[in-house]
A and B are shown apart, each in its own frame.
Chain A
Amino acid sequence: MMPCTLSESQTSREASPGNGGRCLAMSSHGVPFRLRAESSILLDLMRQQAPFGSVECADLPPHARTFALECSGSEQQYQVRIDDQVLVTHEELDSALIQLGGHMMIHVAEYAPDYVFLHAGAVAWQNRALLLPGASHAGKSTLVAELVRCGAAYYSDEFALLDSRGFLHPFARELRMRRPGSQEQTAILLEQLNGRCGTHALPVAMVVFAEYAKCAMWAPEAVTPGRAVLELLLHAVPVQRTPVRVVATFTAMMRGATAWRSQRGDAPDVARSLLRALVQGGAPA
C-alpha cells in the first residue's frame, strides 16, 4: 500500500476537466484505481465503498482503472462505469454503490501483485492458520464469528490473502453476517465477540471445505493436497489471469497443511472441533 497524507494542495481530489465532476486517486494492496463522480457527496459515498485497506494517493499510473458513478438524465438513474464502459444502471443509489464496491473489490483482488486473494474465511489459533474457503452464502462469516468467539484471532470473513510462501496475511475488514433467510448483511464488531485481530503472517495448518446445510452431520473426510489445490482454484480470484502463480502459491501452502471436507450444521460445535484439531492435529471430528 502507498500511504500518503492529504493536504488541500495535493491533487488526489481534483476537478475532472470537461465534465464538472470530481476524481479521487486511491490504492489498495498495490493496485491503483481512480474514483470519479459528479459531486463531492457522491465521491465520498464511493470512497466509503472502496476495498478494505484502500488509501488515497497523490499520483496514479496511466493504466489505473477508473470507477465512475453518474446520474443519467432526468430519470435519476445511477450508472456504474468502469473505464467509461457502462456496467450497470440502478434506480437506487445504494444498489449502485454496492455494485460499485463489489467491482472495486474484485479488481483489487484480481490484480494485487503480492497476494493471491482467496474467497475464504480465515482465523488463527496458537499461531496456526485455518482457512474456510467458500462462495458467498456458504456460511463462512457465521463460522468465523464462532471461531473468534472461542478465542481464535480474526483474519478475515471474506478473503484470505496468501503470499508466495503460502502464508496467510490479515484482511480484517469488519465482520458481516446475514440473518437466516435474509440477503442483508449486518456488521459485527470484534468487541461484540470478545475477539481480536490477527496481525502477523502465519503458515496455514488446515484448510476446511465446510458448507452449511441445515441439520447436516459434521463428518470430515480427508482431502489430498492435490485435490485441495484443485478445489481452491474455484475460490481464487486471480486464477484465470495468473494461473501459474496461483497454483504455485496453493502448492506451497499445502506443503504444511491438511485439508478436510464436510457439510456442517450449527457453528458452535464445529468451531470447537476445528480449534482442537488445529492444535492436536488429525481430523477435526
Chain B
Amino acid sequence: MTSTLRPRNIQADRLNLQAIGTETLIYDERTHKAWCLNHSACCVWRLCDGQNTIAEIADKCAAELCSPISEEFVLLTLTELQQQDLLLADSITGLGPSISRREMFGRLGLAAAALLPVIAALTAPPAEAQNGSVVTGNAKIRRLQGILAVQRARQGSPFR
C-alpha cells in the first residue's frame, strides 16, 4: 500500500523557509506555527512533492545525505512530519504504523544516529503576550490620585 503513496508537503505559498546551517526553519504566516527540521527531515519533506514514491524519496535522500536510506527510514520520517502537520493529510492516507525511533536507532547504530529525523515545533506568540507589566502599589501615585480627585470635585463635573 505504501509503495503507491506519493506524499505531498503542505502548500508552499504561505510558508517561509530559512536555511540555518544544515537545518531549515519553516514559518507558516497563516497559523504562526514554526518548525525546525534537521537535514534528514528536511530532505524527506522537500521530496514530498506529490510525485515521488516512498522508494524514490529514499533513493534521492540517500544521494543527498551520502548514506544508505531505507524505505522504513522514510516512513518513520513521514510519520513524524504527519504528526507535525507538515504533510497534506489526504496524500498519506493508509500510511500505517512505522518503525519506532528506538528500533531505527538500533538498526542505524550510534554512528548513523545523527541521521534520525528531528523536528521541533512551536507557535509564535502575538506581541501582547510579551507584555510583562505588573500592577504594583505606588504610594506617590496614590497621593497624586487623591489630589486629582480633589481637583475634579472642585471642578464639579466628571471629564467629558
A residues with a Cβ closer than 8 A to B are: 19-21, 38-39, 41-42, 45, 70-74, 76, 90, 92-95, 97-99, 101-103, 105-106, 109-110, 119, 135-137, 158, 183-185, 224-227, 229-231, 233-241, 243-244, 247-248, 251, 254
Q: B18, A92: Cβ atoms under 8 Å?
A: no
B18 to chain A minimum Cβ distance, whole angstroms, is 5
What are 26 residue pairs bridging A and B, where the CB atoms are less than 8 Å apart in the complex? A38-B159, A39-B151, A41-B144, A41-B148, A92-B135, A92-B142, A93-B142, A93-B148, A94-B136, A103-B133, A106-B131, A109-B127, A119-B130, A158-B132, A224-B23, A226-B23, A226-B38, A229-B20, A229-B36, A230-B122, A234-B122, A234-B125, A240-B126, A241-B127, A243-B29, A251-B25
CB < 8 Å neighbour of B134 from A19, A98, A237, A240: A98
With A41-B147, A41-B148, A243-B29 in contact, is A94–B23 under 8 Å at CB? no
CB < 8 Å neighbour of A237 from B127, B141, B142, B160: B127
Q: A229, B25: Cβ atoms under 8 Å?
A: yes
Interchain CA distance A20-B20 in the complex, whole Å: 55
With A240-B126, A247-B27 in contact, is A230–B120 under 8 Å at CB? yes
Q: B34, A233: Cβ atoms under 8 Å?
A: yes
Q: A102, B131: Cβ atoms under 8 Å?
A: yes
With A41-B147, A234-B122 in contact, is A98–B135 under 8 Å at CB? yes
With A95-B135, A226-B24 in contact, is A251–B18 under 8 Å at CB? yes
CB < 8 Å neighbour of A243 from B27, B141, B147: B27
Besides the contacts A97-B141, A184-B137, A247-B25, what 14 more A-B pairs have beta carbons closer than 8 Å? A70-B159, A76-B152, A92-B135, A93-B144, A95-B135, A98-B136, A224-B23, A224-B38, A230-B34, A230-B122, A233-B34, A234-B124, A239-B32, A244-B16
With A45-B141, A103-B131, A240-B124 in contact, is A225–B148 under 8 Å at CB? no
Q: B160, A183: Cβ atoms under 8 Å?
A: no
Interface residue total, chain B, C-beta cutoff 8 A: 43
Interchain CA distance A34-B127 in the complex, whole Å: 20
Kindly state whether residue B51 has any CB partner on chain A within 8 Å: no
Q: A92, B130: Cβ atoms under 8 Å?
A: no
Q: A235, B130: Cβ atoms under 8 Å?
A: yes
Query: In the complex, what residues of B have CB within 8 A of residue A226's CB?
Result: 20-21, 23-25, 36-38
B residues with a Cβ closer than 8 A to A are: 16, 18, 20-21, 23-25, 27, 29, 32, 34-38, 120, 122, 124-128, 130-138, 141-142, 144-145, 147-149, 151-152, 158-160
Query: In the complex, what residues of A have CB within 8 A of residue B147's CB?
Result: 41
Query: In the complex, what residues of B have CB within 8 A of residue A238's CB?
Result: 127
- Output the nearest chain A residue to B35 by Cβ-Cβ distance: A230
CB < 8 Å neighbour of B25 from A38, A135, A230: A230
Interchain CA distance A214-B20 in the complex, whole Å: 34
B44 to chain A minimum Cβ distance, whole angstroms, is 16
Query: In the complex, what residues of B have CB within 8 A of residue A106's CB?
Result: 127-128, 130-131
Interchain CA distance A229-B21 in the complex, whole Å: 12
Interchain CA distance A135-B138 in the complex, whole Å: 24
CB < 8 Å neighbour of B130 from A99, A109, A230, A243: A109
